Amino acid sequence: MTISEEPIINPYTLPHTLTAHKRAISAVKFSDDGALLGTSSADKNVKTWSPHTGALIQDFFGHDLGISDLAFSPDNRFLVACSADKTDRLWDLNATTPSKP
């Protein structure tokens, strides 16, 4: 009895490779509406990307040490990042500077 070989089906495609960070990536998150992809890194930066085109949209900086994680607010207006420098930074996605309390 022989086992027939079934064709390998790969339902996935790789539309983009995002390469702007200079050090290890620490987190990758989609915004709730799927319009943005956020990445954080040991290079102390957070970046937002278009998941549809792979284009870099914004680069957020200001932490003194690497970033551990990031999150989008439920309304997709804000992005927060936490860092090994013991700070959280909150950015308004319509601006380029950290939001003030």
The pTM of the full predicted model, rounded to 2 decimals, is 0.81
Question: Cβ contacts of residue 5 below 8 Å, gap of 6+?
Answer: none
**pLDDT category of residue 2 using cuts at 50, 70 and 90:** low
Q: Where are the beta strands (DSSP E) in the chain?
A: 25-30, 37-41, 45-49, 56-61, 67-72, 78-83, 88-92
How far is C-alpha 62 from the geometric centre of its chain's CA atoms? 16
% of the chain exceeding 70 in pLDDT: 90
Over residues 89-101, mean pLDDT: 74
Q: What angle do CA 24, 73, 21 make, to 5 degrees?
A: 20
**Does residue 101 have a pLDDT over 50?**
no
- Give residue-wise pLDDT tens across range 4-30: 677 777 778 888 888 888 999 999 999
**What is the third-level CATH fold of 25-92?**
Thrombin, subunit H (2.40.10)
Which own/partner pairs from 74-79 qualify as long-range (CB within 8 Å, at least 24 positions apart)? Answer: 74/32, 75/32, 76/31, 76/32, 76/33, 76/35, 76/36, 79/38, 79/46, 79/48
